[in-house]
Amino acid sequence: MVSIEQNDDNRVDDHVDEEIINCLDLERPKSFFLFAGAGSGKTKSLVTALNKIRENNYEQLRLKGQRVAVITYTNAACEEIGRRLDHDPLFSVSTIHSFVWELIKGFDKDIKEWLYSNLKKQITDLEEEQGKGRPTSKAYADRQKSIEVKNKRIINLENIKRFTYNPNGLNQDKESLNHSEVINIGAYFLKNKSLLQKILISKFPILLVDESQDTNKDLIDALFEVEQRNRGVFSLGLFGDTMQRIYSDGKVDLGNNLPESWKKPVKKMNHRCPPRIIKLINKIRSVVDEQEQRARTDKEEGFAHFFIFPLSADRITAEKLVTERMAEITGDQKWLDANAAYTSLTLEHHMAATRLGFSELFKPLYKTDRLRTGLLEGSLPELNFFTEIVLPIIDAIKIGDKFAIARIARKHSPLLRINRDEKEQLLQIKNAEEAINQLSLLWSENKDPLCIDVIKCVAELNLFDIPDSLYPFAYQPLMQSETVDDETSDDQDKENDVLDSWGECLKAPFSQIKAYASYINGTSKFMTHQGVKGLEFPRVMVIIDDSSAGGFLFSYEKLFGAKEKTKTDVENELAGRDSTIHRTRRLFYVTCSRATESLAIVAYSEKPEAVKKHVIEEGWFEENEVEVLL
Ligand SMILES: Nc1ncnc2c1ncn2[C@@H]1O[C@H](COP(=O)(O)OP(=O)(O)OP(=O)(O)O)[C@@H](O)[C@H]1O
């Protein structure tokens, strides 16, 4: 058992903020590396440092037209940090993709040259592979197609005057760069073009990167190079935690061999979690490095329990049982509150979709490349048609909120488009009312219409404008997917896939729209293991279910000793490379460290008893904290 040294001084790490602020002295800027465990207050230190810069250097920076750059991992994190800084324009808070694009955009000639040689290289590599491959195999045909697409793109390069990119978009135009191109171009330019380095440091004498363990390794290397060449006039500050590296393109040995001049402040406290959970995460971490955290002295002991079910268990029943057990164990009745009083973490989105009951809507769109990002971001106009127009008006009808009905209809209905004639206006209102009544009949007697019926009804009544891609479904009988003949182009294939997906999705009952909306806007209790990075919640349920997850990157069954390591795992471990178990351990660390009060792990396993034995032997849980349930 790990003994947790009680700390009688909860401010023991306060000196770290001072060390960082000293580094950010504009006369003598220094670089620093603040890597510390979960909940140690890294984000808090980042915001404190930025506020201090504003206090000390506002005028100086403003007069020189300079700003402080902060790079975070997600749009949500940008929003949160921006909010904490009152959205002050002194700070440029952005994701890595937006930041890099702002730096490289406009360098069209250089981008064109980079793309040309990059595409050429990719084609050469593919051709080499073709030389070794079997011409009858699918891989061969795929590679051939890829070569053709790349050649087409090279030819098209000549016509491009200005490249475009949207960090949150699909970037499908001919002029568009994709996400990884932007990062690779940024890294290359920063390393090789002194002009871009000059622009960077003269615009941003201070650059702070949050969650830098997951920042693309080439870009991190490029930033190190910029720092090295501009030492004394530029400050690069990296915040992060190697134990929380959960994406594959982060720099593995980040922090090793840092230059002498870099400051490396150390934090010992975990301000977020209670002692029991800190003991668990210290133990999970103990085989990776020596970092052991202390709890705040003012925290209650807290709870960490492990529940194991066989694979055959019904997920909904099992998880309900766990909430009941947690309420009994902790005495905290909020575990029984269905309204998101606890947070459930699933490994993949579709597991949340199953539990929230919107799988039929979700699955067809998720499997379609062109739709996936928009689906997860909640930015697909077709779904927003349902979530932002139809759902609110139906909800308003159900509770008799006439103002809301009128507001939505005025904003969105073509039946109420501006008309100066008073008589006409009255007629318009009457027509719109009738149409709304007609639509609401679909839900009469507690019916749950299919989305396809809703869209057809809306189209027939001309109540709202139908999004373009749903036209074929709104105005025609449901189309069968057509067989694609060999002559269709790549783009046409993709269009057909998209159309098929919408066709499938619209067969879902309308109630799934509400469940989807609650997941996307964060009001449901579900999040993913990876999406929860940086956040915290009082009660956390970590759902572990390899059998329902599609990928090969993580295996909790291996981490929990229910499955043997493969030959590759053993080879990777022997060679000091990252392995499935290492990756899974880090993800487990991230999820367990989100709870501020109580933590329930729910594992579905092929071998429940083996898992129980393992987690007790590892010292993660005491015998009385582990339950095998049926
Ligand atoms: N010095 C402090 N005193 C009191 N509370 C603190 C302090 N530092 C951080 N906290 C609180 O602890 C929690 C975790 O802080 P923060 O999110 O900054 O940690 P982090 O190191 O960025 O965490 P993670 O890497 O796990 O996402 C927050 O609720 C924060 O308000």
**Rounded CA gap, 220 and 104, in Å?**
16
Is the shortest distance between the CB of 586 and ligand 1 below 6 Å? no
Cα dihedral 550/556/558/562 (nearest 10): -110
The answer to whether 114 touches 142, Cβ cutoff 8 Å, is no
- Which mutation among 35, 40, 44 tests ligand 1's pocket best, with the greatest number of atoms within 8 A of CB? 44
Residue 487 pLDDT exceeds 80: no
Other C-beta atoms closer than 10 Å to the C-beta of 492 total: 12
Other C-beta atoms closer than 10 Å to the C-beta of 410 total: 12
Per-residue pLDDT at 490: 58
Quote the pTM value. Answer: 0.88
**Between 254 and 392, residue with greater pLDDT:** 392
Find the helix or strand (DSSP H, E) in which 514 lies. Answer: helix 511-520
Nearest CA to ligand 1 atom 18: 41
Distance 275 CA to ligand 1 centre (A): 15
Is the shortest distance between the CB of 38 and ligand 1 below 6 Å? yes
Residue 603 pLDDT exceeds 80: yes
Beta strands in 129-222 (DSSP E): 206-209
Per-residue pLDDT at 484: 41
The answer to whether 463 touches 413, Cβ cutoff 8 Å, is yes
Ligand 1: which atom is nearest the Cα of residue 210?
A: 22
Which range has the worst mean pLDDT, 130-139, 261-270, 403-412, 448-457?
Answer: 130-139
Residue whose structure tokens are 């201090």 = 52
List pLDDT tens digits, range 56-93.
999 999 999 999 999 998 888 888 899 999 999 999 99
Is the shortest distance between the CB of 40 and ligand 1 below 6 Å? yes
Is the shortest distance between the CB of 534 and ligand 1 below 6 Å? yes
Intra-chain end-to-end CA distance of the chain, in Å? 29
Per-residue pLDDT at 168: 76
CB < 8 Å & 24+ apart, contacts of 457-462: 458/390, 461/435, 462/414, 462/415, 462/435
* 40 labelled ligand-binding: yes
The two structure tokens encoding residue 341:
């009083």
* 139 labelled ligand-binding: no
Per-residue pLDDT at 423: 77
Is the shortest distance between the CB of 205 and ligand 1 below 6 Å? no
DSSP state of 208: E
* 576 labelled ligand-binding: no
If pLDDT is split at 50, 70 and 90, which confidence band does 200 have? very high
The pLDDT of 352-358, averaged and rounded, is 94
Beta strands in 509-617 (DSSP E): 526-528, 537-544, 595-605
The pLDDT of 354-375, averaged and rounded, is 92
Residue 207 pLDDT exceeds 60: yes
Distance 92 CA to ligand 1 centre (A): 22
If pLDDT is split at 50, 70 and 90, which confidence band does 473 have? very high
If pLDDT is split at 50, 70 and 90, which confidence band does 481 have? very low
**Rounded CA gap, 352 and 525, in Å?**
9
Burial class of 370 by CB neighbour count within 10 A (0 to 12, 13 to 18, 19+): middle
The pLDDT of 300-323, averaged and rounded, is 97
Ligand 1: which atom is nearest the Cα of residue 40?
A: 21
User: Whole-number mean pLDDT of the chain?
Assistant: 91
Is the shortest distance between the CB of 39 and ligand 1 below 6 Å? yes
If pLDDT is split at 50, 70 and 90, which confidence band does 375 have? very high
% of the chain residues with pLDDT over 90: 73
The pLDDT of 338-363, averaged and rounded, is 92
Per-residue pLDDT at 486: 45
The pLDDT of 124-141, averaged and rounded, is 89
**Rounded CA gap, 509 and 454, in Å?**
10
Strand order in the sheet with 537-544: 526-528, 343-346, 537-544, 595-605, 303-310, 626-628
Residue 489 pLDDT exceeds 70: no
The pLDDT of 519-545, averaged and rounded, is 92
The answer to whether 281 touches 38, Cβ cutoff 8 Å, is yes
3 state SS for 451-513: HHHHHHHHHHHCCCCCCHHHHHHHHCCCCCCCCCCCCCCHHHHHHHHHHHHHHHHCCCECHHH
* 232 labelled ligand-binding: no
Residue 547 pLDDT exceeds 70: yes
Per-residue pLDDT at 485: 44
% of the chain residues with pLDDT over 70: 95
Residues ≥6 apart with Cβ < 8 Å to 401? none
**Rounded CA gap, 601 and 437, in Å?**
47
If pLDDT is split at 50, 70 and 90, which confidence band does 493 have? low
Amino acid identity of 247?
Y
Amino acid identity of 365?
L
Residue 328 pLDDT exceeds 90: yes
Burial class of 221 by CB neighbour count within 10 A (0 to 12, 13 to 18, 19+): middle
Is the shortest distance between the CB of 240 and ligand 1 below 6 Å? no
Which sign, positive or negative, has the C-alpha torsion 338, 344, 350, 351? Answer: negative
Is the shortest distance between the CB of 594 and ligand 1 below 6 Å? no
The pLDDT of 460-477, averaged and rounded, is 88
* 39 labelled ligand-binding: yes
**Between 294 and 478, residue with greater pLDDT:** 294
In sequence order, what DSSP letters do the residues of 10-73 get, joined into one string?
A: TTTTHHHHHHHHHHT-SSS---EEEE--TTSSHHHHHHHHHHHHHHHHHHHHHHTT--EEEEES
The alpha carbon of residue 307 and the mean position of all alpha carbons in its chain are separated, in whole angstroms, by: 27
Nearest CA to ligand 1 atom 4: 271
The answer to whether 235 touches 22, Cβ cutoff 8 Å, is no
Is the shortest distance between the CB of 272 and ligand 1 below 6 Å? yes
Farthest-apart Cα atoms in the chain, separation: 83
Ligand 1: which atom is nearest the Cα of residue 534?
A: 27
Per-residue pLDDT at 3: 43
Residue whose structure tokens are 């003269």 = 202
Strand order in the sheet with 206-209: 32-35, 235-240, 206-209, 68-72, 91-95
Is the shortest distance between the CB of 48 and ligand 1 below 6 Å? no
Residues ≥6 apart with Cβ < 8 Å to 423? none
If pLDDT is split at 50, 70 and 90, which confidence band does 204 have? very high
**Between 235 and 488, residue with greater pLDDT:** 235
Ligand 1: which atom is nearest the Cα of residue 241?
A: 25
Per-residue pLDDT at 358: 97
**Rounded CA gap, 607 and 613, in Å?**
10
